[in-house]
Every structure is written in structure tokens, then in C-alpha cells.
Structure 1
């Protein structure tokens, strides 16, 4: 938190000095460290002052999604979003927010470009010109729009690859322009279960890969939570065109065959599931044992972790008990004076037998514990390398891949009361 405050102070100083681009970078750094959604307003405002209206719009929208409902800047940001959207539509009237009722409001279509954009040669733009804000959570059974920014004249092809957790292959879809941003939609049919995965690839005109956000072996993991805020544009379709969802209204003269009464007119969306309507769950090929985010994976991970800890603990307990029996046997042999002074009777044999049993149990549970630790380490590694938190993936600043390692070292002491056990350490 100290670093987050320092980054914020540096950003404020740069903002006051008029260096808005660097101020935005510092505010962004502070946000990454603190995850305070109010900083999204500062990032957007600094980018707007720097003339980066498209990036500012991105962060303003994210502020409205993530910030508390009573945030002091919410009214101002709502006006800014409407103003910037109006600007990017070329002066068209902002799209009214649809409200329930019999009246259907038709948004003004997006004007077509009057002049074609001249694509610049390959190599003009670099990896840092690609921007993407990763998505952490989304509601199930509703479409999810993944967004990204690239220069309009870059000529880059940006591809979204997604799958339901547990599916073997990714579905690929070219992201389409929506005003000044690229959007790729994950349909509601894929938003089932506990999670979904995606990654983005950016290629130039020659087909060379320019940037990535995630990869097939380590995709971004989106947790599906019923209470999460929807993340899709009602006016966007997979074709990349801003349209009004077609709706029909029931006939007032149609009678209910059960009651004989007139039916109330109803609106019926033509494209179910892709305009925000919920879908019923359908069987999916996911939720495998080795798929991070699935229920089976969680059960296996925690079972292996609990088994590892329990077995190693039992090994230590049995080893201590074996040592106690060995000590008792030594004390018994020297109770009459300098050994050997007494016979090795049944009592002594019982002590020896009990000590040997505890030692055997200690060795067995140690081996099982080491094996369980290896299995648990595998599951933790899979989860840590698959799940990425809500951090901005800027291609010019590659985040370090999470590294997880487990080390298990057997330990054996010297002497008659030699200790046998193991030390386990995990690094994340």
C-alpha cells in the first residue's frame, strides 16, 4: 500500500506539472497495486487531458462498472462517457437507455466513415500500442464482451480465443470495431459452469505476431459469479455492426385458451442469449479434473493438499512416539544400575515392538505425504499459472508469469533417538 500511495503522489505531481501522459502511467501503477476503483477516474481524466480520448473512454466505462454506486465522481463520469461516445459517433445523438414498457426506442445508427483509413506499413507500431484490460468476473448465462485498443491505422488483426473451462479447444473470433475500440463477444452459450478462459492474439499485415494477452497454455481465467455486473454492449453483434435488436409485440386480440382473457403484449427478442437474455444451462464438455476453476479440480487440489499436510503431521507424531518408546526402553535397561543388569523380559519386548511399529508407520506416512505433496504442488501450479488477477495487460510491459515450486527434503537425525521426518516448502 505504501508503494501505491507513492505512485499516486508521483502521478499527482506530474499532473499538476502538466505531464498528463506520465501522470496517467503513475495513476495506473497505483491502481494495479491498490485496486482502488476511484483511481480509474484519475487514469481516464489524465488520458483525456493528454488527448487520448479513446483510452479515457475505456477507463471511464470501467469506473462506472467497478466503482461504488455512491462514488462522488459517478455523475461527472456518466456525462463524460456520453460526451465521448457522441464524439466518436461523429455527432450523432447518444443512444437512449432502453426502459421497460410497450415503447421501443430505436437508437441512431452509427454513421459510416466518409474517408477510408490509410493503413500504415508493418512495423510502424510496436507491441506497447496494444492495450487490454483483463476481465476477472462475469455473470453466467449472459454474453461477455472482451475489449482491446490498437491504432486504427495499424492494419492489425486482433483475434479473441475462448473456451468453457474443460473444453479441449479454443474457439477463435476476429474482434470487430465498435467506435474506437475492438470488441469480441463470448456468447452466452459459453458462459456456463464456474469459469471460462480466453486469450488475445495480435498479428500485423504479414501475419507475424505482434502482441498477446494470455496464451493457450496460460489463458486468462474469468470466474462466473451470479452477482457479477454484466459486461456486454446491448447494441453490439458479432458482425461488429451497431444495430437495434429486433422485437415483436404480441397481438392484443389474441385470447388465452385457458382463461379466455386478452393476452398482455410481450416483447420477444429475436436473438436469444446474445442480447443479454439468460440461457438455460446445457451440458458442456468441461469441468475436467485437471481444468483450473472446475469443481473436480478444486476438490482434487484441496484433497491432495490436506492429505499431504495430514500425512506429514502423522509421520512426525509417529516418529516422536517411536522415540519415546526407545527412551523408555533405555531407561528400563538402566533402572537397576549399569546395564546390562536385568533380563530382556516381555515388558521390554512390548516397548521394542511398539517402537518399531511407530517407526514403520512414520516411514509409511512420510512416503505418502511426500507423494501427496507432489500431487498438491501440481494442482497449485496449474491454478497459479492459469488464473490471472485483474491487472492490465499492456503488451509493452509483459507481466512475469507466476512461478510455483515445491521442495520436499527428508531429514534424519543422529543418535539413538534419531529423528525421521520431512520438511516441505512452497514458493509462489
Structure 2
């Protein structure tokens, strides 16, 4: 037993070095304020009851996620990845350092990792209210979320992705943007998740990935042809999410013709025929003006351009969604703008509606929030 224990410890140490654990420890010592924890395998086994089935939060093609209570009584989502390639093994410690320093309200916080196992385990903050996918297609669909709330969630997710693309150093490409990777917190605020499986934007544009990864229905056609992942690949996938919000349909169906199976092809065909109304979900048409829906459809169309260079950046997407949110609050703004100006000139007092116009947010958003929060988590 002693010999076996020594062998096991040796294997753990090898895995730890292989995944860049020494680099992590050195940086954590030099930067004492770094909010990141390197967990032992024993710790994670304990907090998940040896990865008991009752602890499973979700399962996807890339790993299994369990709920556990880690240090300082913090609830966490613990992800055991199924595999990791050789490039990721060599760069894992370095990339974890970069990801651990990302702090944005619309991005799930990476709390730590475990490196003394063959495939590293990631530990994220726990986000309780399911996913955008569930709001549109799944169990939470019964909550009847308003279109303005879905638009807000999309805007927040776009802000999170824009942060990864523009403000992380080096920039981070998500690589698997989809509605099931947009989690919702206690207040139904969007948090982009699963960026731990993403890649750092290559400094050399000639770097290519060896295998196309992602989710069918969301994959950028240009990426599938070139095997080169860019920030515009994330933009394409986000365009598909906008289609889900507009149409209430799944990105990919298993039956029907090629055009009917692919939501992107169905939408682009409707736009080409100037027949957007045919693909819009019925309750959305009743809630919002066609000016707003047309603006959102046009943004989605630009995101889905076959040529990545022609697509907007995530910053442009976020800015346009912010503009559309203001239009959602005030569909009559442009029609009555002259009348309002005249009222202001004769000394009318500022109304709540004018406050909303200046900020882009309703004076009271309480009616915009779901009343039945639930505790769940969705893993891809």
C-alpha cells in the first residue's frame, strides 16, 4: 500500500507539472491578491461526495458538471472535462492565470482548478437560474419571459463577449457561443460560461486548429472551411442566438429539407424574400413594433454573413442591442419626438418616461423579472 501510494503521488506530481501547476504557484505567491485556488483532487472528491450522481448539474459533449460547496462555504460548479489536447496541456497553467483574472459581471467567474489529475478539473462560480436556452426552448419556457427581458439578456451576453474579445489581455475567443452557455443568476442577469474551454487569440494569424470544435447549428461556416477560429466566429454564433430569440426555434432540426433543418438558412431565405413575418414567433409580433424586430433581424443577418470580415464586431453588436433596448422601452419615441421637444420648451417637468429615454432603462424594471426562480444549471 505504501508503494502504491508513492506511485500515485508521483503520477499526481507529474500531472501537476505537465499542466503548468508550478507556474501557477509561482505567480500566486508573487501576486498575493490573485483570487484563484488550486484545489487538490481529494478536496473536490469530498465536496462532490465522490462525484455522486445526485450532485450532477449537467452533462455535455465536453464534460460533466457537479455542484459542490468549496472553501468559505461558496457554492461552485465543478467541471470534469472528458479530454484535453496536447497544446492545451502545455499551456493550461498559463491560460488559467489569464482566465482567473477576468472579472466582469456578465462572465461566469473561474474560481480555480485541479491539476493533479490526467484531465484538469475547472471550478466555476455557481449560477442558479438555468440558461437562456431553457427560457426559450426548455423547462423555463413556461415562465413566459417578456421579449424586452430576452433582449436585455442578449445585450448583457454581448457585453460579456465583447469584454473577452476587446479587454482581456491577450484577447480570448470563446469558441462555443450558444444559448445554453448563457447562464442566468438570481436576478436573471446573463453570465457567459464555458470560456475555460476557449482559446487565447493567436498572435500569429497563421496558427490553425487541428480539429473543428463547437456545436452544430452555431458553427461559423468560414471556420468549418478554414479551421481558423477568430472573434468573428463568436459573432456568427451569437447571430444564431438572436434568431432563437426572434423565432423561438431550435438552431438545428433533424427533419425536413436542408433549409428547414437549419434555422440560419430558413431565416436568411425569409429575409431575402422580404418575409420576416413568416419566421417570427407569434407572441413576439404582438409585444413589439416591427421597427424593433426588423432592426434585430437586420443585426442577426449581419452577424450571419458568410464572410467573417463583413460581420460586425462584438462591440458593434452590443452597442446596437443597447440602442434597440431603448427602442423597446419607447416604441413611440421617434414618432412623437417633435411633440416632446415642444413640451420641454414650454417648461414641462421631467417625466419617468423621459428618464427612461435618457438612460435606456425603465424607471422600474420589477415587472420585467420572472416571478418563479428555480435552482438549476445547464452544462453543454
TM-score w.r.t. length of structure 2: 0.26
Structure with a larger share of its residues in helix: 2
Structure with a larger share of its residues in strand: 1
TM-score w.r.t. length of structure 1: 0.24
State the structure with bigger RCO (CA 8 A, min sep 6), 1 or 2.
2
